[in-house]
Amino acid sequence: MDYARALAQGSTDPSTLHEVYTIARPTADLRRQLTNALRNETLGPWLDGLPPNDDEYRQLSIAYLAANGTTETQAPKMTLTESIHVGDTNPGIAAIVQQLTADGYLANTVTDAASKLYSQGVADAVKALQRDYGLREDGIIGRNTLGVLTLRPGDRARTLAVGLERRRWLSRTPPATRIDVNTAAAELSYFRDGTLVDRRKVIVGEPDRETPGLGSPIYRLVANPTWTVPKSISVSSSTVRAKNMHRVNGYWVQPSGPDNALGLVKFDMRNNQAIYLHDTAAPELFDRSQRHLSHGCVRVADALGFARMLADQEGVGDAWTTAHESGNYKIVDLPREIPVRLLYHNAFVAGDGTVSIRTDPYGWNDAIATDLGFKDAKTRHAKAEAIDIGP
């Protein structure tokens, strides 16, 4: 029963690990199913059918078995006193080249393994690694990049194991039409009738202001929203003047307009955490690889285009266009709610079909790894900081 429960629902309970977790979990009468499996002598097939049965889970399982099967346990010995740029020489370059080659980012023929020169070829390989791990893609070897370069095979296996566990928490029959936001990778995926139809970048909560694990539907679109600043966000007098804010019932309120922190559209969601999707007045931040920059809400790249897509598909395209073009605060109710899941998956299958691992910006992997029995459960975190006052 313990094994069956671990396969069917996960061996850990996310509601005990997180202060907020409302994503739908699998439900099954495992005791009755076990009795039937024993009676019918189908115990093996029954157990095999309990974990998720999708391609991503299978790929992550294969990657975990490969990472867990390696005999190498020691991390490469590298030290860093200052960042390394192209053209710099450093005695640690040889070890970096060795690790990049072992991880498949660099061919053996690209550079001299004994060289101390940080060449452009090695930097290009570092950029690919930074892209996979969600770090700033600049080819510079700093503290966070070195932390990834010193990952041991055991670190990779642990991250994949945690990723598999998180997927066992999820319902085996998610809504066919839904929006999944991967807060670890800062990416949104939109499924329509069971088919992935859109994928785009998002900006999510910074560490210490994490975007929580919510299952929460969008029920309406707000055109030209105003923004009431929460008490948790401090506002300076210069910001009040620059943003044309005014007081309403003790709160600072920013009026509608292209400079509004919510941009020109807000996707209202049903939850008690004041979490929602929205546009932004700072679209240049989507160019960053590390996009954990908000105060908890989710900013969507080309949010106007996304809103238009949803409105057209839900049959309220004309109403949305009229509301948006009015330039005033307007609400457009959706004829049906669109489920949204705010997930945290730092091991996943990327759009090109490869298994990717991101850093653990919220530090949420460690507790799960410990519960799964990993002795060294410490992971390396990437740290980004909010750089504006947006939600």
**CA-based nearest residue to 158, from 322, 321, 380:** 380
Distance from C-alpha of 209 to C-alpha of 271, rounded to nearest angstrom:
17
Q: What number is the average pLDDT over the span 5-33?
A: 95
Residue 314 within a domain: yes
Cβ-count burial of 181 within 10 angstroms (0-12 exposed, 13-18 middle, 19+ buried)? buried
pLDDT for the residue 390:
78
Q: What is the pLDDT of residues 160-207, one digit of tens each?
A: 999 999 999 999 999 999 999 999 999 999 999 999 999 999 999 998
Q: Which tokens go with 235?
A: 């506002």
Residue 17 within a domain: no
Query: Residue 350: pLDDT above 60?
Result: yes
- Report CA 59 to chain centroid distance, whole Å: 18
Q: What number is the average pLDDT over the span 118-133?
A: 87
Residue 204 within a domain: yes
Backbone angles phi and psi of 31, in degrees to 5: -65, -45
Q: What is the pLDDT of residues 302-321, one digit of tens each?
A: 999 999 999 999 999 999 99
**CA-based nearest residue to 113, from 126, 128, 100, 129:** 100
Q: How confident is the model at residue 139 (pLDDT cuts 50, 70, 90)?
A: very high
56: enclosing H helix or E strand = helix 55-68
The domain total for the chain is: 1
HSE, CB side, 13 Å, CA atoms: give it for residue 250.
Answer: 2
pLDDT for the residue 145:
87
- For residue 141, give the 3-state DSSP assignment: strand
Residue 262 within a domain: yes
Query: Residue 146: pLDDT above 70?
Result: yes
pLDDT for the residue 34:
97
Domain housing 276: 174-343
Residue 289 within a domain: yes
Residue 304 within a domain: yes
Residue 70 within a domain: no
Q: Return the percentage of the chain with pLDDT > 70, whole number.
A: 90
Q: Which tokens go with 77?
A: 């010995």
pTM for the whole structure: 0.85
Distance from C-alpha of 166 to C-alpha of 351, rounded to nearest angstrom:
20
CA distances from 83 to 105, 120, 143, 361 (A): 20, 15, 8, 21
Query: Residue 155: pLDDT above 90?
Result: no
Query: Residue 380: pLDDT above 60?
Result: no
Distance from C-alpha of 82 to C-alpha of 102, rounded to nearest angstrom:
24
| CATH number for the domain that contains residue 240 | 2.40.440.10
Residue 334 within a domain: yes
pLDDT for the residue 100:
82
Q: What number is the average pLDDT over the span 115-122?
A: 90
Longest dimension (CA), the chain: 74
